[in-house]
């Protein structure tokens, strides 16, 4: 019999001794940094905008030249030409002068504001009539109005999205120091397993777990090294584990279904490191193993895909999060349970459900049913101190 | 002046005439299909499990041989050896016989159930004592219990996640027919623009929009062809647009800031296709242009990054969704407004907000401020028929 611990204890044990908040950092090109976590504050080295710019189409003026002007008594200014887009404003304007400027154009020396086109008239040779006064810096974004050098524009630990790209691009930041994606090695064991590309003959089944775990890990900010299928042999598994530990930050061994195969993983961890626990009081997921071996955290996951999935979500992902992985946020929805769900006291139970019109309908299936996950919309957790949930009760559904 | 239409009319106009629900389909390898949308029902061609399997470690028996057995009066069966994992069960068992089997092992001919190890004893030479009766198919998953040939395992239009990978792998499906990611061409225009790798000299600013729009589009299930910066020249822009239309499904031209540059896009669309609208009653985003040109939908987006971002979210993404793109679900949160937000009747207004302890705090900034998006957590939409929102009012915040 396994000496089981609670899911909470398991999660804590797994994270014990992890001091790092990442497995390292790396510079990621701007075009690839969506979804990545910043490893340090990003600090501006420049003024944004880099020069004072007009925010409208009109005429750059000295505000004081327009004071008192109105529809009936316009100010009369001498037009000095035009500031071309993308060009240095090298025409200085003096008192009583103005210059045509477009939205985004560089404000020339001597000007402190811009009169909008619609409040002006330039029909007179070399003259511009201004029918509305402007205040200093009206219709202007001053140099550094947005950002000055030394300002933290994005904080350490931010998960980058498209809304951060504008500010990075404006500062000319083409690479961002991000937290590395943890590398997870995935090993599937079992004499009954064949690659998914093969057609199963009697007694064989396809290696589902490597594909499923790789997908789950990729979805949650990790890189995967797939070690494929290892036969139920102590030597082969030990060899693969040693190699995997070298090439990764965390190793997942998804277990042979048979008791002997399961014990092999525990034995190897015990002989080459520390076996921390063997058994979690969680259904599905009981025969889970965890230890440190060859210098890396190693999990022995159940062979059943659904069990391997839920142990990964409940126990493995929190460790990977601590190691810097960007875990997908857990989305939940409250729904009304469509039937009674009895449960064993002292054991956490995970029940897959479908959602229909605000109802959570449990999806049951015999042990090892692989369609359970794909046919459900999410799952309900029955806590270990709970004896079950009742028909009509409002429950929190964790959405897939 | 622009003849503006509402955001709703704009969205409808943009989607008018789109009959397709995708820009095509393609077979995507299993390892890359997370986040992709299935283009057809996925139908099983096999039985899962492919043979009747034991779900426990124990002894395969004929259930009728165990009827009436108990702790005090065990059934005595002849042990016929062991079924090895991954091997064909070629030992047939007869009445009064049993065979050792592991979880996942193939049930032999003659057996219809499995007695768990803990209810048996094999200390006697060649005999196995069974202390508990089992019913037919107890502790067994029958061939096809999960899936039979012809069953739809995943429906058309499903967005694939790791929960779907198990079932696909179990059926040996190594490639999935998915909806193609729409290809969007991004053109930035403006004589003031320089690549983000360059240091701006007077009057120049970096090309923010190409980076930001590419990121937004990638995040929302599209592939991007970046046409870089095109100078404010009718010939050059027309040439680029023609090339872009050939290579993509939708073209985005993010506009020169100046009025002249903006008009260029409208002019080219008008001369080579149909200009559908020029101006949306939305702030920011008013000078948005849309038409069909060189056979493709073409948008002229405002030059200001924040405006270009919101027009893309509100008007461009719905079109891309209709063309098959997997748009990120809109996550919202209800929060209490921290101040009054007046608004112009007849115009939709988008206000960026920060979230703090359940409060939505508007983030204001002069036109063209690029840090607005990165400093906000989401945005509030003030509808066009609303004259503003009040301090203390509960508002829906669309999260970035």
Q: What is the pLDDT of residues A306-332, one digit of tens each?
A: 999 999 999 999 999 999 999 999 999
Higher pLDDT, A255 or A168: A168
pLDDT at A19: 74
pLDDT at B202: 83
Contacts with B326 (C-beta within 8 Å, 6 or more apart), sequence order: B35, B36, B37, B159, B179, B181, B220, B221
Flag whether pLDDT at A6 surpasses 50: yes
Residue-wise pLDDT for B215-247, tens only, equals 999 999 999 999 999 999 999 999 999 999 999
Question: How far apart (Å, rounded) are the C-alpha atoms in residues B108 and A267?
Answer: 31
* Residues of chain B below pLDDT 70: 1-2, 124, 256-259, 366-367
pLDDT at A367: 65
Give the strand pairing for A183-189 and A250-254: parallel
Question: How far apart (Å, rounded) are the C-alpha atoms in residues A93 and A110?
Answer: 5
> Does residue A378 belong to the interface with chain B, where contact is any CB pair within 8 Å?
no
By Cβ distance, the residue of B170, B216, B365 closest to A370 is B170
Chain B's closest residue to A160, CA to CA, is: B374
Rounded to an integer, the average pLDDT of A87-92 is 87
Question: How far apart (Å, rounded) are the C-alpha atoms in residues A92 and A125?
Answer: 20
By Cβ distance, the residue of B162, B191, B200 closest to A212 is B162
Rounded to an integer, the average pLDDT of A274-294 is 94
Sign of CA dihedral B190, B194, B196, B201: negative
Q: Do A103 and B162 touch (CB under 8 A)?
A: no
**CB-CB contact of B395 with B380 (8 Å):** yes
Rounded to an integer, the average pLDDT of A367-396 is 92
**CB-CB contact of B299 with B288 (8 Å):** yes
Kindly indicate the confidence band of residue A229, based on its pLDDT and cuts at 50, 70 and 90: very high
State chain A's mean pLDDT as an integer.
93
Q: Do A373 and B170 touch (CB under 8 A)?
A: no
Q: Which strand (E) or helix (H) includes residue A380?
A: strand A378-382
Q: Do A31 and B104 touch (CB under 8 A)?
A: no
**What percent of chain A lies above the pLDDT cut of 90?**
86
Q: Determine how many CB atoms are found less than 10 A away from the CB of residue A239.
A: 13
Question: How far apart (Å, rounded) are the C-alpha atoms in residues A289 and B192?
Answer: 61
pLDDT at B255: 82
Question: How far apart (Å, rounded) are the C-alpha atoms in residues B69 and B80?
Answer: 20
> Which of chain A's residues have a Cβ under 8 Å away from the Cβ of B137?
none
Q: Which strand (E) or helix (H) includes residue A252?
A: strand A250-254
pLDDT at A365: 74
By Cβ distance, the residue of B216, B259, B369 closest to A102 is B259
The answer to which of A102-116, A365-379, B146-160 has the lowest mean pLDDT is A365-379
Strand partners, B251: B185, B298
By Cβ distance, the residue of B34, B50, B206 closest to A205 is B50
Shortest alpha-carbon distance between residue B312 and chain A (Å): 12
Q: Which of the 8 DSSP states describes residue A48? A: B
> Which of chain A's residues have a Cβ under 8 Å away from the Cβ of B48?
370-371
Q: E strands of B257-374, at which residues?
A: 273-278, 282-283, 289-293, 296-301, 332-337, 341-342, 348-356, 359-362
> Which of chain B's residues have a Cβ under 8 Å away from the Cβ of A196?
30, 169-170, 172, 174
List B residues 180-209 in contact with A (Cβ-Cβ < 8 A).
190-193, 196-209
Q: Do A206 and B170 touch (CB under 8 A)?
A: yes
Q: What are phi and psi of A308, to 5 degrees?
A: -60, -40
Question: How far apart (Å, rounded) are the C-alpha atoms in residues A300 and A305?
Answer: 13
Q: Do A200 and B174 touch (CB under 8 A)?
A: no
Q: What are phi and psi of B257, to 5 degrees?
A: -75, -30
Peptide bond into B270 cis (omega under 30): no
Of B374, B379, B397, B399, which to mutate for an interface test with A (greatest number of A Cβ within 10 Å)?
Answer: B374
Question: How far apart (Å, rounded) are the C-alpha atoms in residues A380 and A332?
Answer: 10
By Cβ distance, the residue of A85, A165, A374 closest to B211 is A165
pLDDT at A378: 97
Burial level of A199, CB count in 10 A (0-12/13-18/19+)? exposed
Residue-wise pLDDT for B113-147, tens only, equals 999 999 999 976 889 999 999 999 999 999 999 99
């Amino acid at each position: 019999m396994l000496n089981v611990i609670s899911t909470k204890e398991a999660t804590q044990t797994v994270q014990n001794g992890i001091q790092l908040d990442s497995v390292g950092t790396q510079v990621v090109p701007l075009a690839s940094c969506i979804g990545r976590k910043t490893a340090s504050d990003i600090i501006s080295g420049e003024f944004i905008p880099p020069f004072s710019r007009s925010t409208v189409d009109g005429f750059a003026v000295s505000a004081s030249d327009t004071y008192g002007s109105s529809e009936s008594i316009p100010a009369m200014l001498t037009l000095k030409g035009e500031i071309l887009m993308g060009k240095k404003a090298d025409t200085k304007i003096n008192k009583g002068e103005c210059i045509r400027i477009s939205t985004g154009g560089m404000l020339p020396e001597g000007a402190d504001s811009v009169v909008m086109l619609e409040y002006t008239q330039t029909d007179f040779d070399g003259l511009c009539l201004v029918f509305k006064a402007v205040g200093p810096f009206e219709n202007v974004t001053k140099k550094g109005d947005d950002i000055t050098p030394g300002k933290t524009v994005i904080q350490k630990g931010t998960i980058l999205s498209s809304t951060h790209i504008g500010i990075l691009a404006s500062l000319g930041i083409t690479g961002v120091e991000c937290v590395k994606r943890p590398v997870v090695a995935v090993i599937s064991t079992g004499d009954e397993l064949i690659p998914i590309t093969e057609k199963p003959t009697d007694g064989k089944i396809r290696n589902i777990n490597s594909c499923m775990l790789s997908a789950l890990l990729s979805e949650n900010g990790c890189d995967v090294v797939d070690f494929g299928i290892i036969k139920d042999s102590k030597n082969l598994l030990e060899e693969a584990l040693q190699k995997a530990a070298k090439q990764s930050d965390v190793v997942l061994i998804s277990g042979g279904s048979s008791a002997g195969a399961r014990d092999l993983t525990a034995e190897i961890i015990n002989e080459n490191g520390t076996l921390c626990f063997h058994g979690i009081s969680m259904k599905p997921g009981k025969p889970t193993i965890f230890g440190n071996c060859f210098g890396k955290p190693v999990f022995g996951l159940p062979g059943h895909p659904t069990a391997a999935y839920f142990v990964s979500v409940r126990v493995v992902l929190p460790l990977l999060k601590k190691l810097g992985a960007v875990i997908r946020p857990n989305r939940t929805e409250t729904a009304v349970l469509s039937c009674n769900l009895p449960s064993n006291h002292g054991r956490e139970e995970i029940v897959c459900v479908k959602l229909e019109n605000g109802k959570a309908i449990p999806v049951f299936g015999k042990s090892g049913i692989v369609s359970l996950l794909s046919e459900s919309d999410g799952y309900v957790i029955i806590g270990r101190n709970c004896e079950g949930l009742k028909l009509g009760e409002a429950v929190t559904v964790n959405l897939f």
